[in-house]
Structure 1
Amino acid sequence: MTGLFSLAIYVLMYTVDPYTPDYQDRLKSPGVMVWPDTYNDEVLEITYNMSDKKNWMKNSKILQKFLEPYNDTTQAQCNHYNCTTGKYFFQHMYNAPKHTKWSCPFYQSTLGNCSGIADPTFGYNTAQPCVIIKMNRVINFLPNNGTGHAPYVNCTVLEGQDNVRGYEYYPVNGTLDLSYFPYYGKLAQPSYVNPLVAVKFDLINQRHAVVQCRVMANNIAYQNIYDPYEGKVVFHLTALS
């Protein structure tokens, strides 16, 4: 009996592909998150006091920590494959070192005025804070706009329109380049980093707004009442003085 059990386990393990999960209960449509990640049980609030350095520095430090893997030098060393912008990066073979697949670099400097390089405060000492939008990974997912164009982040002010003078995206147009897709899994792409989009807001008047940032693609749902983070993220942004 023990021998049969051992043989069954051996056959099972021999036929399992370690690079592909046998059971995936993830949603087909990816979730979307925002940083600084100040999540609580009810609503997502990013609130800071411009005149209290200790207070606003909490958000700046969260973003600095979050972007450490994206350091330009680090990315140049671990993800040095020359990817083709604007095209899916299909890999049918494990041609990277140690039987892995290549990953495209995403440089911190790509986030421009929200990279934290020139301004390590990320604007949190003013009424022009930066937030960073990240779409969660789904193995083999191909975002599709039906036009061959890359998905992009689109932010909308749901409440407090008079309190937002404007906002800018980094990279330009909030694009999530196709070369970062598909994702093949942590074992296959150990150095993979998610593409990011940063948004810099210009708050005025009461300096409070409720914002929705959505990843735009035909096959990314955003109206799932059971998962408020599927395809989009809604957050309160408030700058106190």
Structure 2
Amino acid sequence: MEDKKVEQYYSPPPKLGKWEGFRIFLYNSETGQFLGRTGASWAKILLFYLIFYGVLSGFFGAMLALFYQTLDYNAPKWQMDKSLIGSNPGLGFRPMPPESNVESTLIWYKASDKGNFVHWSRALDKFLEVYKPPKPGTAAAASNGQDHRVHCDYGKPAPPGKSCEVDLQKFSPCSSDKNYMYDQYQPCIFLKLNKIFGWQPEFYNDTQNLPSNMPSDLRERIKTAKMRNPEELKTIWVSCEGENPADVENIGAIQYKPRSGFPGFYFPYANSPGYLSPLVAVWFESPKRNVLINIECKAWARNIIHDRVERRGSVHFELMVD
């Protein structure tokens, strides 16, 4: 007996319009599907992703908590030679040229034009704002660490948990009320060392074994400091001079305010509350006018290496006063 083949014929689903197809996609009353899935299917997939992202978040949170256990909020994990910045501080200067000339190191202004030199004095005002102490005991004093600052001197460093103050009055005439001498053709340039956690300078305590490339006027300043007070030898000395013979002739007389360098009692930097980087104001008393002067300033300590290319231990800038 021959098997009878049953033939089935399938008719294509009816063509639906765009709106009708979209309506059925949102909810199909015949199958009970919502957005192409039944309620049970939606429950399963939502449960899966809830468990998946919950486990993922928990793992990430556990790793983050473990990582934070290795951190010290008061000190960097990698210090000195193990850190990216190393153990040789750089030297910076202020004021900086406008942001439009971010790569420039030229300080150029016309002293007789107030609108021309005011940029430089305002830039210094902004830079020194953090150094201006508010009234003691106020909220502002607590927020900027003023309550943690004390007066320091050679042989009188800050006690633990305190920082040395920086008295802007000692920088005179490099002060805001005198426009930092820019309108007098005698500009002041402020120098500061980069902060390196835990770095302790090695001072030149022996005036007989000074580097051969140290400027002669700095040698005399060091010898004078030793005669006046041997404790003052605990200083990171600063020198500024013209880079070329013509610059040496054009730079004129220089004074350093308030001292000839960064006093040693500001070091080492340990992230103490209220800490402020020490400053040295370089007062150019008589730079030759209408001439571009190339200037290099250096910080001097036994463990400071000078590298002009890497900008270590020294800083270069140009000065031009019209």
Q: TM-score, normalised by structure 1?
A: 0.81
Q: Does 1:162 align with 2:245?
A: no
Deviates more, 1:77-86 or 1:122-131: 77-86
The alpha-carbon distance between structure 1 residues 13 and 80, as it changes in their structure 2 partners (threshold 3 A), is: closer
Alignment of structure 1 residues 193-232 onto 2, 5 Å: 193-201=276-284, 202-204=286-288, 206-223=290-307, 225=309, 227-228=310-311, 230-232=312-314
Shift of 1:152: 1.5
Shift of 1:10: 3.2
Cα distance in structure 2, aligned partners of 1:30 and 1:157 = 22
Shift of 1:58: 0.6
Q: Among residues 160, 180, 183, which one is paired with 2:269 in the alignment? A: 183
Cα distance in structure 1, aligned partners of 2:133 and 2:200 = 26
The match for 2:196 is 138
Bigger Cα Rg:
2
- In the alignment, residue 124 of structure 2 is paired with which amino acid? L
- SS across alignment from 1:222: coil
The match for 1:18 is 73
- In the alignment, residue 280 of structure 2 is paired with which amino acid? V
The alpha-carbon distance between structure 1 residues 114 and 10, as it changes in their structure 2 partners (threshold 3 A), is: same
The alpha-carbon distance between structure 1 residues 75 and 54, as it changes in their structure 2 partners (threshold 3 A), is: farther
Shift of 1:60: 0.9
The alpha-carbon distance between structure 1 residues 10 and 155, as it changes in their structure 2 partners (threshold 3 A), is: same
Tell me if the contact between 2:149 and 2:274 (Cα under 8 Å) persists in the aligned partners: no
Shift of 1:115: 2.6
Unaligned runs of 5+ in 1: 92-100
Bigger relative contact order (CA 8 A; separation at least 6): 1
Cα distance in structure 2, aligned partners of 1:35 and 1:141 = 23
- SS across alignment from 2:97: coil
Cα distance in structure 1, aligned partners of 2:253 and 2:315 = 19
The alpha-carbon distance between structure 1 residues 47 and 16, as it changes in their structure 2 partners (threshold 3 A), is: same
The match for 2:124 is 63
Taking only aligned residues, the RMSD between alpha carbons, in angstroms, comes to 2.6
Shift of 1:22: 2.2
Unaligned runs of 5+ in 2: 1-54, 206-232
Cα-to-partner distance string for 1:9-64 (whole Å, 9 max, x where unaligned): 43442343221222431131111111111174655100001222111111111111
Q: Does 1:30 align with 2:89?
A: yes
Q: Specify which structure has the higher proportion of helix.
A: 2
Tell me if the contact between 1:75 and 1:105 (Cα under 8 Å) persists in the aligned partners: no
Q: Among residues 150, 174, 185, which one is paired with 1:127 in the alignment? A: 185
- In the alignment, residue 298 of structure 2 is paired with which amino acid? R
Q: Specify which structure has the higher proportion of strand.
A: 1
Tell me if the contact between 2:149 and 2:275 (Cα under 8 Å) persists in the aligned partners: no
Cα-to-partner distance string for 1:107-161 (whole Å, 9 max, x where unaligned): 11121211324x1x11111321111111111101111124262112111111322
- In the alignment, residue 303 of structure 2 is paired with which amino acid? N
Q: TM-score, normalised by structure 2?
A: 0.62
- Identical-residue share of aligned pairs (%): 28
The match for 2:321 is 239
The match for 1:98 is none
